[in-house]
Structure 1
Amino acid sequence: MIPIAAPLLAEEEADAAREVVLSGWVSQGPQVAAFEREFAALVGAPHACAVANCTAALQLALAALDIGAGDEVITVSHSFIATANAIRYQGATPVFVDIDPETYNLDCARLAEAITGHTRAIIAVHQMGMPCDMAALMAVARHHGIAVIEDAACAAGSQIRMSGEWEPIGKPHGHIACFSFHPRKVITTGEGGMLTTADPELDRRFRLLRQHGMSIPDTVRHGSSRVIFEDYLVVGYNYRMTDIQAAVGRKQLERLPELVARRRAVAAKYAELLGSFAGLRLPAESEWARSNWQSYCVGLPDRLDQRTVMQNLLNKGIATRRGIMCSHREPPYANANHRHSLRQSEAAQARSILLPIYAQMKEEDQLCVANAIRAELAHGYN
């Protein structure tokens, strides 16, 4: 079987986790603090706050901005459902805009028409690791005085050119960026997430909310020579990351440049192998974007049935995934008042598939995938 993804975990990660297990401190503690410092340094962010997962990160981002009932948050339907769910958790309303079919990201030309007097924020998704057009998006957001959250779940290691300089996703370019460390991401802690920001007050609120609204962190209380009684200042959450996860994450961070370089090489090989296949649409980077290639998404010609292609590939031992889901097609959002056309989002879901990609993927496996795709294109069924 050629899997859709395969995390690169080795003895270094196992040893790091073992050391934490034997240390006696396995919950949020010194390893989490070190992971936060190292992640912040890597992406060039003044502050980084580790949490349980990226869904928690998105909700904390909205909560820290005091977004709630009666507020609207503009985002794409064409994203994993967690993006929309985080908005709903806060009692706010997601307003979906369509995507640019070339990048699978939010179409910034459609952004202004979605803004109303109730709009409080925009969640820009760096879909499949491909950077969103932050320069265009931020110009609109600044003009209207709207906060910007980057859903960078897939984008650790991706870069964007801003003002002529290449900068990591997560610097951040909006107000807050949120990352995932799920096993299908470029680096993983099993589950886990991170928020980055340049605003110290937002970072303070993340840290308060992630740990039940507790005024004194465990590390301070346990390390004090005096008895300290904590207060619970707000209604918070249990969104902490464990030290076991953070220890693994620190080793994964060391691998990140190599993992991205390998993925970019795999993506380049796919472009070489598949580039001459008539009717197959390949992904491409904008001149201002460098993707980590968390996923490799190809568009199928209209004559091919998505499910049939995927089943035929699975029968040959090749795992794929359908195009990125559309939240507005799922029951929790199906009856909402969608004010704008989502035609490109629906087409991307229905007409594209994600091919296997991971850092340790062998060239012979890519050739196997390419040959299987060629066979499907030759069938010409409906």
Structure 2
Amino acid sequence: MIPIALPSLSENEADAAREAVLSGWVSQGPQVAAFEREFAALVGAPFACAVSNCTTALHLALAALNIGPGDEVITASHSFIATANCIRYSGATPVFVDIDPDSYNIDPELVAEAITPRTRAIIAVHQMGMPCDLSSLTALAARHGVVLIEDAACAAGSEIRMNGAWERIGKPHGTIACFSFHPRKVITTGEGGMLTTGDAELDRKFRLLRQHGMSVPDTVRHGSPQVIFEDYLVVGFNYRMTDIQAAVGRKQLQRLAELIGHRRALASRYAELLGNIDGLRLPFEPPWARSNWQSYCVRLPDRLDQRTVMQHLLDRGIATRRGIMCSHREAPYADAAPRHGLRQSELAQDRSILLPIYSQMSENDQDRVVDVLLAELDS
């Protein structure tokens, strides 16, 4: 079986987890603090705060900004449902807009049309690791006085050209960027997430809210030569990362460039092997973007049925996934009326499939995927 994805974990990660376990400190502690420093340095952010996953990161972002009932947050329906769920957690109203059909990312022109006096924030998704049009979105957010949050769940290591220089996603372009370290992502801690920002006050709020609103972190209390009684200043959450996860994450960070290099080579090879197939639309990487290629998504010709193609590939030992879901099609969001149609989002879900891509994938594996897919396209 050729899987859709496969985490790349080595003896180094296993040894790091073992050391954390044997250290006696397995909850949020020194490894988490080191992981935060190293991630911030990697992406060029002044602050990074580790949490339990990207869903909690997005929720903390909205909570720290005091976004709640009566507020609207513009985002893409074409994203994993967690993006929309976090808006609902906050009591705010999700406003869905359509995507650009080439990049699968939110369309800035449609975002502009959806802004109202109730709009507090835009959550822009870097879908499948492909950077969205941050130049347009940051200018738009500034012009309307709204906050730009980047759902960078899939985008660790992706880059964008801003003001003539290549910069990592996670460097403060918007107000906050939120990352995932789920096993489907390029680097993993099993579960885990990170928020980056250039705002010291927001970072302080993240750290307060992730640990029950506790005034004194565990690390300070346990290391103090004097007795400290903590206070609970606000209603917070238990959104902490463990030191075991962070120890693994630190080793993964050291390998990020290597892992992305393998994925970029595979993506380039897919483009060579599939580039001249009539009706098959390949991913588009704008000249100002460098994707980490967390996923490789192709749009099928209209004559082919998505489920049938996927089943035939699975019957031949190749796992795929359908195009990214649309939240507005799910029961919790049936009443979330968009400001305009979501046709491109629906087509992306219904006509696209994600092909296997992971750093350990061999050229022979890739040839097998291509050969079976070509047989389907020729049938």
Relative to the length of structure 1, the TM-score reads 0.99
Q: Partners in 2 of 1:278 and 1:344 — Cα distance?
A: 20
Partner of 2:41: 41
Secondary structure of residue in 2 paired with 1:99: coil
Q: What is the identity percentage for the equivalent residue pairs of Structure 1 and Structure 2?
A: 78
The answer as to 2:115 corresponding to 1:115 is yes
Partner of 1:316: 316
Please tell me whether the aligned partners of residues 97 and 110 of structure 2 are also in contact (alpha carbons under 8 angstroms): yes
Partner of 1:367: 367
Return the letter of the residue paired with 1:212.
H
Return the letter of the residue paired with 1:71.
D
How far the C-alpha of 1:362 sits from its partner, in A, is: 0.3
How far the C-alpha of 1:109 sits from its partner, in A, is: 1.4
RMSD: 0.5
How far the C-alpha of 1:337 sits from its partner, in A, is: 2.1
Return the letter of the residue paired with 1:287.
P
Partner of 1:206: 206
Partner of 1:304: 304
Partner of 2:5: 5
Secondary structure of residue in 1 paired with 2:255: helix
**Cα shift readout 1:145-172 (whole Å, capped 9, x = no counterpart):** 0000000000001000001100000002
Partner of 2:260: 260
**Cα shift readout 1:228-263 (whole Å, capped 9, x = no counterpart):** 000000000000000000000000000001001110
How far the C-alpha of 1:264 sits from its partner, in A, is: 0.2
How far the C-alpha of 1:340 sits from its partner, in A, is: 1.4
How far the C-alpha of 1:334 sits from its partner, in A, is: 1.1
The answer as to 2:222 corresponding to 1:222 is yes
Which aligned runs of 4 or more in structure 1 are off by greater than 3 angstroms?
Answer: none
Return the letter of the residue paired with 2:270.
Y
Partner of 1:283: 283
Secondary structure of residue in 1 paired with 2:6: coil
Please tell me whether the aligned partners of residues 297 and 354 of structure 2 are also in contact (alpha carbons under 8 angstroms): yes
Return the letter of the residue paired with 2:113.
E
The answer as to 2:205 corresponding to 1:233 is no
Aligned length: 379
Q: Partners in 1 of 2:112 and 2:250 — Cα distance?
A: 40
Secondary structure of residue in 1 paired with 2:88: helix
Q: Partners in 2 of 1:244 and 1:27 — Cα distance?
A: 7
How far the C-alpha of 1:339 sits from its partner, in A, is: 2.3
Question: Structure 2: 5+ residue runs without aligned partners?
Answer: none
**Cα shift readout 1:187-224 (whole Å, capped 9, x = no counterpart):** 00000000000000000000000000000000000000
Return the letter of the residue paired with 1:142.
A
Partner of 1:197: 197
How far the C-alpha of 1:321 sits from its partner, in A, is: 0.2
How far the C-alpha of 1:278 sits from its partner, in A, is: 1.3
Partner of 2:25: 25
Q: Partners in 2 of 1:261 and 1:354 — Cα distance?
A: 19
Partner of 1:163: 163
Partner of 2:56: 56
Relative to the length of structure 2, the TM-score reads 1.00
Return the letter of the residue paired with 1:227.
V
Return the letter of the residue paired with 2:229.
F
Q: Partners in 2 of 1:264 and 1:336 — Cα distance?
A: 37
Matches within 5 A, 1:173-188: 173-188=173-188
Please tell me whether the aligned partners of residues 100 and 106 of structure 2 are also in contact (alpha carbons under 8 angstroms): yes
Please tell me whether the aligned partners of residues 175 and 198 of structure 2 are also in contact (alpha carbons under 8 angstroms): yes
Please tell me whether the aligned partners of residues 60 and 210 of structure 2 are also in contact (alpha carbons under 8 angstroms): yes
Please tell me whether the aligned partners of residues 94 and 336 of structure 2 are also in contact (alpha carbons under 8 angstroms): no
Q: Partners in 1 of 2:339 and 2:45 — Cα distance?
A: 36
Q: Partners in 2 of 1:261 and 1:247 — Cα distance?
A: 23
